[in-house]
Chains A and B, each alone.
Chain A
Amino acid sequence: DGGITQSPKYLFRKEGQNVTLSCEQNLNHDAMYWYRQDPGQGLRLIYYSQIVNDFQKGDIAEGYSVSREKKESFPLTVTSAQKNPTAFYLCASTVTGLNTEAFFGQGTRLTVV
């Protein structure tokens, strides 16, 4: 089955620690995205990548880092510089082109303890 796999589903982190969220897709999509979702708010874009070895900051990139070494993978690192990291993180991907649907993974819920 084609799709986007995010792991783990739940993640707990101690304050001051970096943590990496995994996102893998087998849809052969060129572009990948990371969004953050907080209760009562819409999704907000953290980073996106339209080709391998290239990525751009979204609206709330501070405290996060990404890499895109392979087309299928776009991991997100939440660093200790992120002041309020507890949230639901969603990865998405699209084919490059006009009017194409963005497919989302099932999300990772990160909690800082």
Chain B
Amino acid sequence: QQQVKQSPQSLIVQKGGISIINCAYENTAFDYFPWYQQFPGKGPALLIAIRPDVSEKKEGRFTISFNKSAKQFSLHIMDSQPGDSATYFCAASKESNTGKLIFGQGTTLQVKP
């Protein structure tokens, strides 16, 4: 019930392409869904987050799509750049304690020049 499942495990995209990472959750009590970006040897940094009362949120080249009925959400990276090459984690928590996160397994993205 606490799991967040993330796919794919790895992704290779050409520069300028669209990167898409998918996540599914089980616990309907979750109401905060962030995406984190992590570079090797560094801590994760928040990219973008969404609450279930909206179906989409966009910040620059990054968009979260959220499907509450399917319990799924996804990250789209438009015009992917080599600098976007990193590991991406989806996560879920209750809004009342947004540091108590359940993380997906991570997706390693490589953007080829």
Contacts and interface: CB of A to CB of B under 8 A. Distances in A.
Where chain A touches its partner, the secondary structure class is strand
B79 interface: no
B98 A104 contact: no
Could you say which interface size class chain B belongs to? 20 to 34
Interface residues of A, number: 30
B105 A42 contact: yes
Nearest to A49: B99
Contact of A42 (B34, B41, B51, B104): B104
B42 interface: yes
A63 interface: no
Interface string B1-42: 010101001000000000000000000000010101000011
A102 B36 CA distance: 10
Interface of B: 2, 4, 6, 9, 32, 34, 36, 41-46, 49, 51, 89, 91, 95-106
